[in-house]
Each structure stands twice: as structure tokens, then as C-alpha cells.
Chains A and B, each alone.
Chain A
Amino acid sequence: MTIWAATDWYAFFFLLFALLACGFAAAVLFTSNIVRMAFYLTLSLGATAGLFFLAGAEFVGVMQLMIYVGGTLVLLVFGVMLTARAPFLSLRPRSGEWIVSLIAGGTLLFLLIASAFGVRNWRTASDSGPLPLAEAQTATAVGAGLTGVRVDRLNRDAAGHALSQLPHTDSGYLLPFVIVSVHLLVVLVGAAYLARAKVRRRSATESTASVEG
């Protein structure tokens, strides 16, 4: 029974997801087969979504699963399949590149980890302890923030009740949200155009070539 009293599921799940995320990220790095890389990347990003859930960011975690894993990566796999011919399936970097990049990467990693543990506020939990679950649920607040209402910045009275007035200058993330939506639309149309145009021209040149031939 003592082992159960000492078990911390939060630490367990953190460790599990962290190892999955980092392990499969390394697998992406060290595999040369492009399709396997895509598969490992999926698992790594999925494990990161698990980390987001653990950190209380449910909405971000689900967005990660929906857009990143379900959308972007499917797109990537499409690209991989459209360009996957035997000679490009596994393009290996030269060994000299490996050595240089591993040295550089190791240094960078060391620096980042050292700085991650370098700040006292990051290393320790706060004195007041974590918030209760009800306060930690953020999906609604995130949605409100995207539509321009920062519920976490409501003015509060002495008893902690939220007052109605929001600061008038604070429109939350409404403007970035609109901009990013339009941006996404433009980018998707542009990408579709970019991917189509060459095919058309090539088929046109091919047809003229065949006419000339």
C-alpha cells in the first residue's frame, strides 16, 4: 500500500507523454524514411496534445489534435505520397552534416535546459498552490477571449465578484482572430492556385509538344 500512497499519477502521465513526445521527435530526426517520419511526427504531436491536457489547456489540446494532427499532418502525408518515389523515400544527410548539427544541437539543448532550470519561479510551484479544477477549465474563457471579451481581466470588487465594465481599450484577441481567419482563407486559396498552376502549364506545353511531334 505504501507504493500506492507514493504514486503520483500527474507525474506519471507527464513523464509518459513527455517521453513519447521527445522520443518520437527524436525518431523523426533519426529516421530517413519520409513516410515513417510522418508517422512518428503524428505520435509526437499527439503526445504533446496529451501534455496540453495535463497542463489544463483542454481547448489547445483539442485544437492540436484537430488542426495539427488531423489536418496539417494529413495534408503533409498527402504531399509525401504525391512525391514519394523510391529514390526520395530515404534521402540521407551526409555524415559531416550529422556531426556538425549534433554538436550545434547539443549545445543549444544544453543552453535551453540550463535556462529552464535557471529561473526560480519556473523551478518551483507557487506558494498558494494550484487552482481548483473549476477555475482551471478554460474552454469558455478562451472562446470569449477570441471574440473580444477577456473574462480574466474583468474588474473585480473587494469581494471578488466580477464587475461588468471591461476596460474599453481591451478587445481581447478579436482583431488577431479576424486577421488570422482572413489570412488562412487567402493562404488556402493561394496554395490551391500555386499547386494547380504548374500542372496546367505543363499539360499545355505537353500538348503543344505532342502537336509539334
Chain B
Amino acid sequence: MVRERFPDQVRYASCVEHVIESAAVAEFLVHTLSLPAPLAYLLAALIHCGFILGLVAAGAVVFIWAERKVSGRIQDRLGPTRTGGKFGWLQSPADGIKVLAKEDLIPRAADRLLFRAAPYVSFSSSFTAYLALPFADGWVAFDTNVAVFFILAVLGLEVFGVILAGYASGSKWSLFGAMREAAQVVSYEVPLGICVVIPVLLTGTMNLTTIANMQAGWCSNWLIFHDPFTFAVFWIYATCALASVNRAPFDLAEAESELVAGFMTEYSGMRWSLFFMAEYSSMLLVSCLAVILFFGGWHGPIPVFDWLGWAYPGGASSWQLTGFLANLAGCVNFITKAVIGVTVMLWIRWTLPRLRIDQVMTMCLKYCVPLAAICFIGALWWQVAGWWSPNHWLPLRPDGPGGMRETWVVAPEAACGEVARRLPWADSAPPHGAARRTLPGCGLAGPPAGWRTGSPAAARGGVQ
């Protein structure tokens, strides 16, 4: 849209969209409010960032309160009850004000610059990862083809803040905590990566929007129920995610019975709370990622909006009220699932005792990595052999990417041509917009399809 309107500024449409993928909001601003394109892109980017920052901050506030309540209930207490009414729901804001009012101490032995910078490194990396996370069909700040990889990479950077904090504090406790965290996070990235690759393999794309849309329809279509191996791999993912966001029982880096508070020992006030916000936002993030990869994202257990015909059809580029409502409900659905995941994390924290550091490493290298690798091969085998999957008895709507994956599962031969037809390079110049809504990249099944059969028709037009 923007491209036709501003032919001399093609670069915005192609590149800025790339960086701050705000096309939908920006198009609205340009067309309806007729703002100049650069301003529209700036506003759109600010709106996106504001939403994400709001979600992260609100999430931290809610989860800190929930943590207190959950821990209270598990320990047969009430948790906060007084602050702000019946459930103590103002406890987190009250804590926030207390933390803000605290003195900001920097130890004399600290490296002042790195000590100050470390919390921001942690927080901004866990915040940046949200940029590539879709909350509903098309509701994503940065719609990239490598979203899964991006989130894993950026989430892995959080450990840098912790290492810096541990080193810069100039304290033995902090340094020990930081070294533990670094070793743990770097090791757990390996099995986590293998676990994440399995849904990527089954859907044939790293684009999270597409991965979630491929699980549309009944809950039988969720990837966790795809085959026994994906079911097993979800639990490995849950373990590794718990370890990589440094939550109990893997919170060795801040083990208060051994290391005072680990890397956070010397921190106080606002900087300390930044670390805390980073921790809670990465908890929510890995939970959201699990929901997209294994639990269908914004697609509910029952496809209500598909029956109503409200959901955006594939390839739609204009705004529709029904589609918006479907997306809104999907977003609520998505966040509900993610919050359930975080609640389970809280439950685990107050139930299981902390592991020793050697047990943590054993867990990763001797159990998680081999099991994840076995599941990887197993899921691949299951898919190639075309064995039974829930899609066989509970079919879903035939159109849309979900239906396409079903065809893939049930009748892989027919699907090959379809995939080849939708690939970006099948035609020399796919229309702009179409490629975004449909499948930007269907993975490796595409080119070998035409390549293997050797017929030009298969590569060009699919099944006639």
C-alpha cells in the first residue's frame, strides 16, 4: 500500500518494514490519518514498543503478586492480604514504590560503568525478544522468517548482563553466581535449541505466525499431540526453559542458602528490580514460545472462530471487524495459555528443592541432550513414515495453513506440489502482501519437491 502511494520511497516499504515491521499500523496511519510515511512509521514503532513494554511491566507486576500468593498457598499461608483490598492486589505497586525509594548503592570494589550497565543489558535483551513474538495472527512487531531463532538468540544474550553484574560487583558471591549462571545457560541452550527445532521441522518454517497458524482448528492439531515424540519433547523443552531462565529448581545463580543472592548480592533499589523484571519477562517469554510451538498459539482447543468464519482468511490484507475480534479473542487465548505456563513455573518453584550444580549439569548433558536428540530423530521418522496422527480422526478446516499441514500429514504426496506452489521462488515476483499472509517459507520440503520428481509442472503449478 505504502509502496503505491510513495513510489519514490520504496526503501521505506521494503527496509523499514523489515526493521520495525509495523506495516498494518503504519498503513492505517498513512491512509486514514494521512500522515507522512516516516512519521507514520515512527508512531507505529512507538505504539508497538509501548504495547510490548506495557505487557512486560504489567506481567512483572502481576507475576510478582501471583508468586507471593502461590507461595503463600503452597506453604499454607494467605500471602499478602492487606495492601489495597481483599487479595492484596496492590502489593506489587507498593513494592515498586519501596524499591524506587531505596538507596542506590555501588560497592567500592565495583567496576562502576559495568555495574551500572549490567541490569540494562539483561532487561533490554529479554525485552527485545518480544519484538519477534506474535500475539495473534499478524499481531507482531517484527514479522521475520527467523523468529524462533531470533528469540532464542536474543534470550541467550540475557546471560551477558548476569556475567557483567557478577564480575563488576567485585564480590566473590556475585562472581560465583555469575559463573554458575553462565555455565548453566550456555549448556542448556543446546537441548533447548534441539527441542525448538522439532516444531520447526514439522511445520517447515521458523516464522512463529505460520507455526501457530498451522495448528489452527481442534486441539488435536496442536503440535504437542502430533506424535509421541513431540509430546515427550515438550517436557524436555519445559525443563530446559526453566533452566535457561534460571528459575527454581535451577536457580543456582542466586541460591540464597549458598551464595547470599548470587549475582544480585550487591544490587539494590531500581537496578535490582530491573533484574527481577528481566527474570519475570523471560519466564513469560519462554512460556509464550512453548504455547506457540506446542499448544497452537492463539488457536483454541475448539475452533469457534473458524465455525463463525470470523478469522482472517489467508491472504487478506484489509482490516475487518470480525477478523479483529477473532484476533482479540485469540490474543486473550494466547496470553491465558502463557499465564498458565508461568503459574506452573511458580508452582514448581515452591514445590521442588534446588539442585546441586553438578546435578544441573548432569541433567543437561546426560539426560536432556540425548533425549532431545532421540525425540528429534523420532519425530522426523514419524513424519516421514506417515504414521498415525490425531489429524486422521479429527480433521480441521481445509483452507489456510493449518489445513495445509493436515494435508501434509495425511497425504504428503499431494502436499508437495502445494508447498512448491506457495514458495516465494516458485514465481519470479510474488505480489507484495500475499507473501506475508500466506507462507513466506515452507522450509525444505519445497525445492526438493520439484527437484525430486523432476517434472516442471510439479515445481511450477503443483497438482493439477
When A and B assemble into the complex, do they touch directly, with CB atoms less than 8 Å apart?
Answer: yes
A35 touches B456 (CB 8 A): no
* Distance A106 CA – B460 CA, assembled complex (angstroms): 54
Interface residues in B36-59 (C-beta closer than 8 Å to A):
36, 38-39, 41-42
Q: How far is the CB of B405 from chain A (nearest CB, A)?
A: 16
Q: How far is the CB of A210 from chain B (nearest CB, A)?
A: 26
Closest to B164 in A: A39
Pick the residue among B13, B426, B455 that contacts A161 (CB under 8 A).
B426
Q: Does B154 contact A (CB under 8 A)?
A: yes
Pick the residue among A42, A129, A159 that contacts B160 (CB under 8 A).
A42
Q: Does B314 contact A (CB under 8 A)?
A: no
Pick the residue among A4, A39, A139, A152 that contacts B36 (CB under 8 A).
A4
Please name all residues of chain B whose beta carbon is closer than 8 Å to the beta carbon of A132 when the two chains form the complex.
3, 14, 429, 432
In this complex, the interface size class of chain A, counting residues with CB under 8 Å from chain B, is 35 or more
A10 touches B12 (CB 8 A): yes
B157 touches A59 (CB 8 A): no
Interface segment out of the listed A74-82, A111-119, A174-182, A194-202? A74-82
Main secondary structure of the interface of B (DSSP, over half): helix
B14 touches A139 (CB 8 A): no
Q: How many contacts between A and B, using CB within 8 angstroms? A: 192
Q: Does B10 contact A (CB under 8 A)?
A: yes
Please name all residues of chain A whose beta carbon is closer than 8 Å to the beta carbon of B38 when the two chains form the complex.
4-5, 7-9
B182 touches A78 (CB 8 A): yes
Pick the residue among A65, A144, A163 that contacts B157 (CB under 8 A).
A65
Q: Does B396 contact A (CB under 8 A)?
A: no
Which one of A54, A81, A137, A163 has the greatest number of beta carbons of chain B within 10 Å?
A: A137
* Distance A39 CA – B112 CA, assembled complex (angstroms): 13
Interface segment out of the listed B230-238, B337-345, B361-369, B440-448? B440-448
* Contacts A133-B432, A147-B444 given; does A162 touch B459 at CB 8 Å: yes
Q: Does A95 contact B (CB under 8 A)?
A: no
Please name all residues of chain A whose beta carbon is closer than 8 Å to the beta carbon of B14 when the two chains form the complex.
130-133, 136
B425 touches A152 (CB 8 A): yes
* Distance A139 CA – B206 CA, assembled complex (angstroms): 9
B164 touches A140 (CB 8 A): no
* Distance A135 CA – B144 CA, assembled complex (angstroms): 13
* Distance A84 CA – B179 CA, assembled complex (angstroms): 13
Q: Does A183 contact B (CB under 8 A)?
A: no
* Contacts A74-B186, A164-B459, A166-B451 given; does A136 touch B18 at CB 8 Å: yes
Please name all residues of chain A whose beta carbon is closer than 8 Å to the beta carbon of B41 when the two chains form the complex.
9
* Contacts A9-B12, A13-B19, A164-B456 given; does A149 touch B114 at CB 8 Å: no
Closest to B204 in A: A140
A56 touches B18 (CB 8 A): yes
Q: Does A156 contact B (CB under 8 A)?
A: yes
Q: How far is the CB of A5 from chain B (nearest CB, A)?
A: 5
Closest to A150 in B: B447
Closest to B175 in A: A81
Interface segment out of the listed B145-153, B219-227, B376-384? B145-153
Pick the residue among A58, A78, A152 that contacts B146 (CB under 8 A).
A58
A74 touches B19 (CB 8 A): no
* Distance A143 CA – B164 CA, assembled complex (angstroms): 34
* Distance A146 CA – B144 CA, assembled complex (angstroms): 20
Closest to B9 in A: A8
* Distance A35 CA – B423 CA, assembled complex (angstroms): 46
A135 touches B429 (CB 8 A): yes
Interface residues in A30-70 (C-beta closer than 8 Å to B):
33, 35-36, 39, 42, 46, 53-54, 56, 58-59, 62-63, 65-66, 69-70
Given A54-B19, A156-B428; 16 other pairs, CB 8 A cutoff:
A4-B36, A10-B16, A13-B16, A36-B111, A42-B160, A62-B146, A66-B153, A129-B10, A132-B14, A135-B429, A136-B18, A140-B441, A147-B444, A149-B444, A151-B447, A154-B425
Residues of A within 8 A of B (CB): 1, 4-5, 7-10, 13, 33, 35-36, 39, 42, 46, 53-54, 56, 58-59, 62-63, 65-66, 69-71, 73-74, 77-78, 81, 84, 129-137, 139-141, 143-144, 147, 149, 151-152, 154, 156-157, 159-166
26 residue pairs of the A-B complex, CB under 8 angstroms, read A1-B36, A5-B38, A9-B15, A10-B12, A10-B15, A10-B16, A42-B160, A58-B145, A62-B149, A66-B156, A71-B156, A133-B14, A133-B432, A133-B435, A134-B424, A134-B440, A135-B424, A136-B14, A137-B424, A139-B144, A140-B446, A144-B446, A149-B447, A154-B459, A162-B427, A162-B460
